[in-house]
């Protein structure tokens, strides 16, 4: 079965990307399968296969999403920013990013705006995962002599920029 974008998004969005502690999602190029592994409970099924660690939307301890949200809300009124900062001091930024009806601080229209940002980032990370998935396939074809002269070599990945949002939201 081929890996769908939905499968990739699920793994990327939920990936703690911390092999030594919580674990991480990986993608096996050999089996075309996403699997979860950690140092405490390793999945050794794919150890001899060609795999890569999946990108993560918000790796454990990184606070990437939190910082992006804090930069994102600067486009709102100072009063609303203060309300969100007060909420975050009491309940945390992770809850401040959630819909009010789920215990968070955001109204439906605000969630819609934030969702555009998060979805754009997920789209970038899926593209990155697809590129990584295809990299070794092209390299192994070249090694085996199955590639024609016109087949491009695998390129080095570089960080992607959000396409539909201001770059400043995702930078440090």
pLDDT tier for residue 158 given thresholds of 50, 70 and 90: very low
pLDDT tier for residue 138 given thresholds of 50, 70 and 90: low
What average pLDDT does range 13-42 have in this prediction? Answer: 94
Looking at residue 148, its pLDDT comes to 39
Is pLDDT of 26 > 50?
yes
Looking at residue 118, its pLDDT comes to 96
Looking at residue 160, its pLDDT comes to 40
Report the SS3 class of residue 137: helix
pLDDT in tens, 31-63: 999 999 999 999 999 999 999 999 999 999 899
Residue 124's CB is within 10 A of a number of other CB atoms, namely 19
Is pLDDT of 7 > 70?
yes
Give the bridge partners for 52, in sequence order: 27
Task: Render the chain in DSSP notation, one character per residue.
Answer: -PPPHHHHHHHHHT---BTTTTBEEEEETTTTEEEEE-SSS--GGGTTS-EEEPP-SS-TTT-HHHHHHHHHGGGS-HHHHHHHHHHHHHH-HHHHTSBGGGTSSB-HHHHHHHHHHHHHHHHHHHHHHHHHHHHHHHHHHHHTT-S-TTSPPPPPP-PPPPSSS-GGGT--
């Amino acid at each position: 079965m081929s890996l769908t974008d939905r499968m990739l998004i699920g793994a990327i969005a939920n990936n703690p990307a911390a092999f030594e502690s919580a674990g991480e999602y990986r993608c096996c190029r050999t089996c075309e399968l996403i699997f979860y592994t950690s140092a405490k409970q390793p999945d050794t099924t794919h150890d001899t296969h060609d795999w890569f660690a999946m990108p993560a939307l918000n790796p454990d301890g990184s606070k990437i999403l939190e910082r992006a949200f804090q930069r994102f809300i600067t486009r709102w009124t100072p009063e609303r920013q203060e309300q969100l900062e007060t909420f975050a001091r009491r309940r945390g930024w992770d809850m401040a990013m959630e819909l009010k009806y789920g215990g968070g601080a955001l109204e439906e229209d605000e969630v819609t705006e934030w969702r555009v940002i998060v979805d754009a980032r997920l789209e970038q990370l899926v593209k990155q995962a697809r590129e990584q998935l295809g990299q070794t396939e092209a390299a192994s074809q070249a090694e085996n002599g199955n590639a024609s002269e016109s087949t491009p070599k695998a390129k080095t990945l570089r960080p992607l920029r959000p396409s539909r949002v201001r770059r400043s939201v995702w930078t440090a």
